[in-house]
Structure 1
Amino acid sequence: MGLISGIFAFLFGEGRNVVRETTEVFRENAEQGAKRDLTRQQGVLEQYRTEFERVQKGAFDRFMDGLNRLPRPAMALGTLGLFVAAMVDPLWFAARMQGIALVPEPLWWLLGVVVSFYFGARHQTKVQDLQREISATMTRTPKVMENIETLAEMRERLIGVADTGTDAGLADEVLKPDFNPALEDWRRGRSA
């Protein structure tokens, strides 16, 4: 018996588990892995919250945001305007297009790069705004769930609160109208 208890004490005793420790060399402990993942995810959310927390923008920032929104509508409306100009005054339009034909190819490449960077930067800004909003939503989720549970508990407590049950006297008392002086004055005024 001493040999078997000695083997078990070696394998599982003294706060150690040699089998578990050996297994964890080849396979991750799922519980510890889940804890690490949770800690990492909470850290990422906290970093997003601090990094992307909305700050109150000043007048200059709002002006620049408005200015940044102008090129796309201006380009779209300008293109539509070119179609209208081609229909209204074809000679004027043809003269302008001849001028565009004289623009050298490197300048077209430069224009393409500038427009690509502009729209790429706008896309990046929108993606960051979306990440910021998702992060804010994720940080509010536990509080929202807690509020929903509280509301559900309140609803459960309110069901049947006014039920009189089998008490006939209480039911009769509930059905009697209360004395309302304003209503009585109104009735007297109507009957007079």
Structure 2
Amino acid sequence: MGLIGKVLTLIFGGGRNVVRETAEVFRENAEAGAKRAQDVQIAAMDGFRAEFLQGPRGMFDRVMDGVNRLPRPAMALGCLGLFVSAMVDPVWFGARMAGLSLVPEPLWWLLGVVVSFYFGARHQAKGQEFQRQIAQSMAQVPQVVEAINSVRSVEAPKDANAALAAWQAERVG
């Protein structure tokens, strides 16, 4: 074995790759990084599945969800009602707005905080519900893939009828 062969065996021999190992000191192995990222993603999805797949919701949860849906439509309809009342009875509307002008500024700030916290909590609850639905969907992926594969396995091969294939080739060609 020549000198070049011995040098190459020294660098790449014995199941090692000194060049790759040296490069990995300075730059992450992309394939190993992708595998680690996949493991983290799978662990996160398993955590979501354990947290959000706790069974059906009870009557109290459904009633409270219905009650939580009332403030936004009430505020929207209330604003529209203010516009209508301003057109129907401007004097009545002016008296109500004059009363609102007497509300101290700290009370307006408090109202803003309460409304902000309400909608922030509502947004978080809906986001968690969305994550739960995603976890349920992701949990069903293996069954869907298996069903698709079983349907494809039943599918007849396209060249099963030699006479039909010959006729189609004759027609095209």
Coarse TM-score class (shorter-chain normalised): 0.7 to 0.9
Aligned to 1:67: 67
Deviating runs (4+, > 4 A) in structure 1? 2-9
Q: Does 1:96 align with 2:133?
A: no
Deviations 1:36-84 (A, max 9, x none): 2221221121112112225322222222111111111111122222223
Query: For residues 128-167 of structure 1, what are the structure 2 equivalents within 5 Å?
Result: 128-156=128-156
Deviations 1:79-133 (A, max 9, x none): 2222232233333222222211110111111111111111122122222222222
Larger Rg: 1
- Quote the RMSD (CA, aligned, Å): 2.7
Give 3-state SS (helix, strand or coil) of 2:16's partner: coil
Give 3-state SS (helix, strand or coil) of 1:122's partner: helix
Pairwise CA distance, 1:6: 5.3
Q: Does 1:56 align with 2:56?
A: yes
Structure 2, unpaired ranges of 5+: 164-173
Say which structure, 1 or 2, has more relative contact order (CA 8 Å, 6+ apart).
Answer: 2
Equivalent residue pairs, number: 162
Give 3-state SS (helix, strand or coil) of 2:156's partner: helix
Structure 1, unpaired ranges of 5+: 166-192
Compute the TM-score of the two structures, normalised by the length of structure 1: 0.70
Pairwise CA distance, 1:143: 2.3
Pairwise CA distance, 1:5: 6.0
- Aligned equivalents of 1:91 and 1:8: distance in 2? 97
Q: Does 1:11 align with 2:11?
A: yes
- Aligned equivalents of 1:37 and 1:71: distance in 2? 41
